[in-house]
Structure 1
Amino acid sequence: MKAALQAYVDGFNAGDPAVVVALFADDATIEDPVGNPPITGRDAIAEFYANNVASGAKLSLDAPIRGSHGNAAAMAFTVEMPNMRIRVIDVMTFGDDGKISTMRAHWGPADIES
């Protein structure tokens, strides 16, 4: 799980959304931020990451990636964009196949700096 999350960061920062999308199960869901309607399915997830990578955003880890003894892992990171910074914690669950089944991004207005 930790290796998958590192691949997520590396693929995103390399500007390759296909690398990120390949980490997700076909029926995965994304809730970004938590409380928004979920983004479901490979096509919607591909569009989500293509748009985010195209924005010029880059990710930097704020602490080591954390894994559990179960099926979840989390990472605290900062999204750097041209005119803003967002502090985020992503919690992801994984299926038996090692693919991400859910991604929940924890951030809100107080976590945005301009």
Structure 2
Amino acid sequence: MIQITPHMKILLSVEPVDFRKGIDGMAALCRKVLKSDPFSGCLFVFLNRRRTAIKILSYDGQGFWLCQKRLSKGRFNWWPTKGQGVDKPLDAHELQMLIWNGDPFHTQAAPMWRKIPA
């Protein structure tokens, strides 16, 4: 099981992808499109063209995890626009909101804690 923690790096792919791809195809997208190393431990989030499903790819040190959520009804309401680059970083609570088909940037969550420099 993938545990999403606040210190994880999460990258959301802006462009929809072909969900016939498996782990190797998604890892290739990470390298070619997102210019990121799929072995980095980062969570990579992808959307299908119909906006009915998301896939999350992650490497845990031993192997890859590929998780998919398909909505039983409707489409994912929020996704970044193409003018914002090829990827968008997310925080852990924003990904949780996205998984539940919410808008991660219009929620009322506590601000991220930052250590105050001495």
Task: With the length of structure 1 as denominator, give the TM-score of the two structures.
Answer: 0.32
Find the structure with the greater CA-based Rg: 2
Q: Name the structure where strand makes up a greater proportion of residues.
A: 1
Task: With the length of structure 2 as denominator, give the TM-score of the two structures.
Answer: 0.31
Q: Name the structure where helix makes up a greater proportion of residues.
A: 1
